[in-house]
């Protein structure tokens, strides 16, 4: 991979991660809506084993990164680590300094799912997962040659059902709607033809 392509790749990874963090920090987490299966596993570890949320989240994402290194290669794992780090920082910043302009959880759910799905699709198009079970979905997509939105929806849905059964059934409704909307967004954007000369830094690299 050329230096130019590498810069473009990690710029887009950063954009996708920030957008994902924006969706979580402004629309989803303030309403206690799980954004994915990784968040569900984190909640279960905290509920069953009394592991602090921050440590549980690290355990889930770090264990998935091991799969990324083995099945997807070091570059994908590095991109995933970058995405996870930027997303975590973005969540904290947006959660502290921004709040949703709406006072309705369903409107927040709609926009949160839309932004979340857009951010994740940008990551997946760069061969990078959004952490958590997104790694497993990307592995399945790579080896089975399917759109990653499909395994992502079914894996997350299964984890949400377990979480709802263990804690509260109210969680699963909004979580599944979020997953359905975000994975539909991912599925559509993932298959959109790649635009030329957009976000490619041609204005920097073009020869005079």
Say what the pLDDT of residue 18 is. 93
Which pTM value belongs to this model? 0.75
What sign does the dihedral 129-192-141-115 (CA atoms) show?
Answer: positive
Question: Vertex 17, ends 36 and 180: CA angle to 5°?
Answer: 30
Yes or no: say if 178 and 112 are a contact pair by the CB < 8 Å rule: yes
Say what the pLDDT of residue 147 is. 80
Q: pLDDT (tens digit, 0 to 9) for every residue of the chain, 208 residues total?
A: 688 888 898 899 999 999 988 998 899 878 878 777 887 887 788 788 988 766 776 778 777 777 667 666 667 778 878 888 888 788 878 888 999 999 898 999 999 999 999 998 998 888 887 777 777 877 788 788 888 778 878 888 888 888 888 877 877 788 889 888 988 898 888 777 765 554 444 444 444 4
Say what the pLDDT of residue 203 is. 41
Query: In a 10 Å sphere around its CB, with 0-12 CB exposed, 13-18 middle and 19+ buried, how is residue 109 labelled?
Result: buried
Query: In a 10 Å sphere around its CB, with 0-12 CB exposed, 13-18 middle and 19+ buried, how is residue 104 labelled?
Result: exposed
- The rounded distance, in Å, linking the Cα atoms of 56 and 49 is 10
Say what the pLDDT of residue 195 is. 58
- The rounded distance, in Å, linking the Cα atoms of 128 and 121 is 9
86: helix, coil or strand?
helix
Say what the pLDDT of residue 116 is. 92
């Amino acid at each position: 991979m050329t230096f130019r392509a590498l810069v473009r790749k990690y710029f887009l990874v950063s954009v996708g991660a920030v957008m994902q963090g924006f969706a979580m920090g402004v629309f989803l987490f303030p309403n206690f809506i799980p954004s994915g299966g990784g968040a569900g596993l984190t909640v279960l570890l905290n509920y069953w084993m009394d592991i602090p949320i921050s440590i549980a989240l690290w355990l889930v994402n770090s264990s998935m990164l091991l799969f990324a290194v083995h099945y997807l290669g070091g570059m994908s794992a590095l991109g995933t680590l970058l995405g996870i780090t930027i997303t975590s920082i973005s969540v904290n910043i947006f959660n502290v300094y921004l709040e949703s302009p709406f006072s309705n959880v369903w409107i927040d759910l709609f926009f949160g799912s839309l932004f979340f799905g857009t951010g994740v699709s940008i990551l997946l198009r760069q061969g990078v997962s959004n952490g958590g079970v997104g790694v497993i979905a990307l592995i399945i997509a790579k080896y089975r040659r399917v759109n990653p939105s499909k395994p992502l929806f079914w894996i997350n849905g299964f984890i949400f059902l377990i979480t709802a059964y263990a804690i509260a059934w109210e969680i699963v409704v909004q979580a599944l709607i979020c997953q359905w909307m975000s994975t539909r967004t991912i599925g559509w954007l993932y298959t959109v033809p790649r635009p030329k000369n957009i976000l490619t830094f041609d204005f920097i690299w073009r020869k005079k």
